[in-house]
Amino acid sequence: MADKPTQLIGQSGPFLDAVERASAAAALSRPVLVVGERGTGKEMVAERLHRLSPRWEEPLVSLNCAALPETLLDAELFGYEAGAFTGAVKGRAGRFEEADRGTLFLDEIGMLTAAGQERLLRVVEYGELTRLGSPRVISVDVRVVAATNEDLPRLAETGRFRADLLDRLSFEVITLPPLRARLDDIRPLADYFGRRMASELGWRQFPGFTPRLVEELEAHEWPGNVRELKNVVERAVFRWAEAERPIDALDMDPFDSPWRPRGAFPQKFVAPDWSILPKEAQGDRNGRVPCPPPGERPNEAVSTPSDFRGAVAAFERRLLEQALDAARHNQRRAAQLLGLSYDQLRHAMKRHKLSGG
């Protein structure tokens, strides 16, 4: 596995606890299970376990168990002999043999087939394997580090994962906290990713972020965790045209566009939640929002088609103001009430020159 340019960065208590446990377990040759949501840095923890271990000069080999079809996964792990299956013209060593005397990182271990789990159990327990199509037993000395975002104990209870294999893999279990539990780490991570992108773009210096943008970063839920934060920050730096001025614009969803393809089939319409808006701004039971009462309609006396856009703009502004008031100016909540994304709301507020847009 090639060296990664990204480092383990953080200062929050939950993150430091996880790193400390990984550092303590590195010196042993026992299996370690790394658990965490997508994007939390499981592969980097596996690399730390290897680099701090006595095996650091030996190979670090990785395999994503979810990236291969079931028919190829066993062959990739344990190797095969010529003629073992259609297309096997000559034999090949598997990842275990490649990682001999080193470390094998198995990502998405919960996706391993039942047969693969049985064979893996034998390697972990006895250090022995057989290539597909061969009766010869091969001895290997491999330290296994496995990772998953699944609840393996629950999978074991339902028979989808071998309980005895789980026992062997879980000598030490390191659970990585999601980014939403590491609020103190968002700013240093954003600075790190921002500086790297600024350097890649050839900027003389990194101008940093405005306080408003930092607040927006810290308020986001980050379902994709550190990987998502990295993409958002690097995209913000890349799209910022003024290298001397602090960055003040984010695009959380790069797919957000009025021209975004919606697929071949009609999408199910989800009506926005109007119930919290003032009564006069709420729609009927079919979700339709009424026009303002007579006497309050913008440009009511004008009937020429050229004023249609002005009337629509005035009504749109009024809906924005009512949603913001109802949400107590929490822009994310207001966007939800209107059925908009956060960025769509921000664009609409800027278009109507509303405060905070």
Same domain, 163 and 187: no
User: Higher model confidence: residue 343 or residue 241?
Assistant: 241
Q: Are 95 and 61 in contact (CB under 8 A)?
A: yes
Measure the CA angle with vertex 160, ends 157 and 164; round to 5°.
65
**Of 177, 205, 231, which one is at a domain's C-terminal end?**
177
122 and 228 share one domain: no
Which amino acid, 115? Answer: A
Residue 273 forms part of a structural domain:
no
Same domain, 159 and 206: no
Confidence grade of residue 287 (pLDDT, cut at 50, 70, 90): very low
The answer on 25 and 102 residing in a single domain is yes
Domain of residue 317, CATH code: 1.10.10
Tell me if 100 is assigned to some domain.
yes
**Quick one: 34 and 129 in the same domain?**
yes
172-175 and 32-35 beta bridge pairing? parallel
Residues 216 and 141 grouped into a single domain: no
Looking up residue 214, the CATH number of its domain turns out to be 1.10.8.60
Q: What whole-number distance in Å separates Cα of residue 92 and Cα of residue 137?
A: 15
CATH of the domain at 50: 3.40.50.300
What is the number of structural domains in the chain? 3
Range 272-299 average pLDDT: 51
What integer is the mean pLDDT of 293-297?
Answer: 48
Per residue in 186-227, pLDDT tens? Answer: 999 999 999 999 999 999 999 999 999 999 999 999 999 999
On whether residue 213 sits in a domain, the answer given is yes
Q: Which of the listed residues 140, 155, 177 is the one where a domain comes to its end? A: 177
Return d(Cα 221, Cα 24) in angstroms, integer. Answer: 31
Evaluate whether residue 244 is within a structural domain. no
Please write the tens of the pLDDT for every residue from 89-124: 788 899 999 999 999 999 999 988 888 898 899 999
Predicted local confidence at residue 177, as pLDDT: 96
Rounded CA-CA distance 216/135 in Å is 60
In a shared domain, residues 67 and 210: no
Task: Indicate the residue among 177, 197, 213 that finishes a domain.
Answer: 177
Q: Which of 59, 37, 30 is nearest to 47 (CA)?
A: 59
Range of the domain at 152: 13-177
In a domain, 149, yes or no: yes
Question: Are residue 126 and residue 88 in the same domain, yes or no?
Answer: yes
Instruction: Kindly state whether residue 317 falls inside one of the protein's structural domains.
Output: yes
Q: Are residues 38 and 160 in the same domain?
A: yes
- Give the integer Cα–Cα distance in Å for 161 and 112: 9
Residues 104 and 208 in one domain: no
- Residue 259 included in any domain: no
Q: Is residue 257 part of a domain?
A: no
Question: For residue 275, what are the CA distances in angstroms to 111, 284, 290?
Answer: 43, 10, 14
User: Do 167 and 230 reside in the same domain of the chain?
Assistant: no
Query: 138 and 49, same structural domain?
Result: yes
Share of the chain above pLDDT 90, in %: 55
